[in-house]
């Protein structure tokens, strides 16, 4: 959804299930750390606000956005979690590197969602400028971390409902 039409942090909290019994893995890219730290803050606070216990939120870091996929896979395999959230920030530069990394990480999360019986939530910003990223990491367009956390909670509840 285009953030010019919807603030990433605005949602109807009454539609978000209680996360008290849910366990979450969060894998965070160290690249563009000022942005990814803000995304993590938003995701973590949103999970806790909806009942997730802090001891059931497992945060781990990887060097860059490309490594998010492997990090997410390891969290799913090594920890007992109900969902994995990947948080990163890829900013367009002067070379096609942006396109390769963005496509690779996106496809990686698609593949993980198809391979495992738990949701992998894509909380990766892919923007043209650093300012656009700040605007979506707690700035004027809200926080993609909030959105990713709400998505994770809703998808865990959805999967449990159908189990």
In-domain check, residue 15: no
Read off the CATH number of the domain in which 78 is found. 3.40.50.960
Active site residue 56: no
In-domain check, residue 3: no
**CA angle, 13 then 18 then 24, to 5°:** 105
Q: Which of 50, 60, 97, 141 is catalytic?
A: 97
pLDDT tens digits, one per residue of 104-139: 999 999 999 999 999 999 999 999 999 999 999 999
In-domain check, residue 36: yes
In-domain check, residue 28: yes
The structure's pTM equals 0.96
In-domain check, residue 76: yes
What's the pLDDT score for residue 93? 85
Number of domains in the chain: 1
CA–CA separation, 137 and 121 (whole Å): 16
**CB-based contact 112:81 (threshold 8 Å):** no
In-domain check, residue 18: no
Both tokens of residue 69? 């996929």
pLDDT tens digits, one per residue of 56-85: 999 999 999 999 999 999 999 999 999 999
pLDDT tens digits, one per residue of 3-42: 667 888 999 999 999 999 999 999 999 999 999 999 999 9
């Amino acid at each position: 959804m285009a953030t010019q039409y919807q603030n990433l942090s605005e949602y109807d909290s009454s539609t978000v299930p209680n996360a008290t019994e849910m366990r979450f893995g969060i894998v965070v890219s160290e690249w563009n750390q000022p942005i990814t730290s803000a995304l993590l803050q938003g995701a973590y606070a949103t999970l806790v606000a909806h009942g997730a216990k802090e001891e059931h939120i497992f945060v781990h870091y990887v060097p860059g956005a490309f490594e998010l996929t492997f990090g997410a896979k390891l969290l799913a395999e090594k920890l007992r979690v109900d969902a994995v959230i990947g948080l990163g920030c890829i900013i367009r530069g002067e070379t096609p590197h942006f396109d390769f990394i963005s496509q690779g990480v996106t496809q990686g999360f698609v593949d993980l969602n198809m391979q495992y019986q738990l949701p992998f939530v894509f909380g990766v910003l892919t923007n043209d400028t650093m300012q656009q990223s700040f605007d979506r990491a707690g700035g004027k367009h809200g926080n993609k971390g909030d959105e990713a956390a709400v998505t994770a909670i809703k998808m865990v509840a959805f999967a449990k409902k159908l189990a």
